Amino acid sequence: MATYADPLALVDTEWVAQHLQDPKVRIVEVDYDPSSAYHLGHIPGAVLFDWRKDLNDPVRRDILSREAFEVLNSRAGISNDTTVVLYGDFRNWFAAFAFWIYKLYGHADVRLLNGGRKKWIEERRPLTEEVPSYPPATYRAQEPDARLRAHLPYVLNVMGKRGVALVDVRSPAEFTGEVTAPPEYPNEAAQRGGHIPGAVNIPWSKALHDDDTFKDPESLRRLYEEAGITPDKEIITYCRIGERSSVTWFVLRHLLGYPNVRNYDGSWSEWGNTIGVPIER
C-alpha cells in the first residue's frame, strides 16, 4: 500500500496516547471556540492555542508576527527541537492552519493528529479539564517562507496563467455565490458571492473520511488529478479565511508531495470585499 509523501506529518491517536508523557513532544489543541471544546475536556497535557487570540495579529488582518510566534511557543514550553502535535475543533480546520504557520516560520517537526479531536473522543480516550503548565522555553523562528503563502496581488498576477491552478475548497454553494459564508460563520460574510476566475471547486472535506481521518494516497491523488490539479503546476488554495484551505494545502504538499503549493489565507473574505477584483459565478 502506498504511503504519504511525508509520513511524519501525520500521527494517529495511538501514537499520541503512547507519547502523552514524552517531554520531547508537545500536544497543542487549536480551537476556534475553546469554550465548546478545550475547556470541556482535552487530551491530557495539551496546551491551548486560541485561533483568534493566539494565531492572528491583534490589530491588522494578518497572521501573528514572527516575534509573537516566538513568544507563543516559548510560553507553551516549546523549543525548536520539540515535536509539536496539533489537533482541534471544527474537524481540524484551525489545527491545519496552525500547521501551515509552523511551516511558514520554519519549525522542523510539526505533525497533525489524524482524525483530530473528534476521533480521540469517539475512541473514548482520556480527557481532562486540567490546564497544564510548562517551564518557558527559548524559541527562535525563521523568516517566513514566502513560497508557502499567497497574497492578493500575487494571485491577481498569476491568475489565468499557464501552469497555475487555483483550488477553491469551499462548498459548492459558496463557490457559485449562492451563499457568501458557510453556516458556521453567519456573521462573517463577504460583500459579494462567487469565486476567483478560473478556480476549480474541490471541497476540502472530499479528502477526508467520515471519522475525519485522511483518505489513502491513491484516492487523494485521483481526487485532485482528475480535476486538473497536478504536481507539475503551481497550486494556490483558498477558502474564506484560510483555515479550510490549510487542510487542502496540507494534503497536497505533505500527503501527496506537491512541490509548489501556496495558501492564500486572505481568501474570499478579502477577495470578495476588495473593490475592482474580478469574480465569477
Query: What is the CA 62 to chain-centroid distance, rounded?
Result: 15
DSSP-assigned letter for residue 148 = G
One-letter amino acid identity for 132? P
Taking CA atoms, 187 is separated from 182, 195, 204, in Å, by 10, 19, 21
Helices then strands, counting H and E runs in the chain, come out as 10, 9
Phi/psi of residue 219, each to 5°? -65, -40
- As a whole number of angstroms, the distance between CA 148 and CA 220 comes to 21
Check: pTM over 0.95? Answer yes or no.
yes
Burial of 14 (0-12, 13-18, 19+ CB in 10 A): exposed
pLDDT in tens, the chain (281 residues): 579 999 999 999 999 999 999 999 999 999 999 999 999 999 999 999 999 999 999 999 999 999 999 999 999 999 999 999 999 999 999 999 999 999 999 999 999 999 999 999 999 999 999 999 999 999 999 999 999 999 999 999 999 999 999 999 999 999 999 998 887 776 666 889 999 999 999 999 999 999 999 999 999 999 999 999 999 999 999 999 999 999 999 999 999 999 999 999 999 999 999 999 999 99
> Helix/strand/coil (H, E, C) string of 79-135?
CCCCEEEEEEHHHHHHHHHHHHHHHHCCCCCEEEECCHHHHHHHCCCCCECCCCCCC
Tell me which of 239, 241, 247, 261 is the catalytic residue. Answer: 239
pLDDT in tens, 106-143: 999 999 999 999 999 999 999 999 999 999 999 999 99
Shortest CA distance to 195 belongs to which of 217, 210, 178? 178
pLDDT in tens, 170-181: 999 999 999 988
- Can you give the pLDDT at residue 182? 81
- Can you give the pLDDT at residue 155? 98
Q: Sheet of 261-263: strands edge to edge?
A: 200-201, 164-168, 234-238, 261-263
Residue showing cell 483530530? 116
Contact 265, 244 (CB under 8 A): no
Contact 38, 29 (CB under 8 A): yes
Shortest CA distance to 13 belongs to which of 252, 210, 211? 211
Question: Mean pLDDT across the chain, nearest whole number?
Answer: 96
Is 20 catalytic? The answer is no
Shortest CA distance to 45 belongs to which of 6, 7, 108, 87? 87
Buried b (16+ CB within 10 A) or exposed e, 190-206: beebbbbeebbbbbbee
Residue showing cell 505533525? 111
- Can you give the pLDDT at residue 190? 85
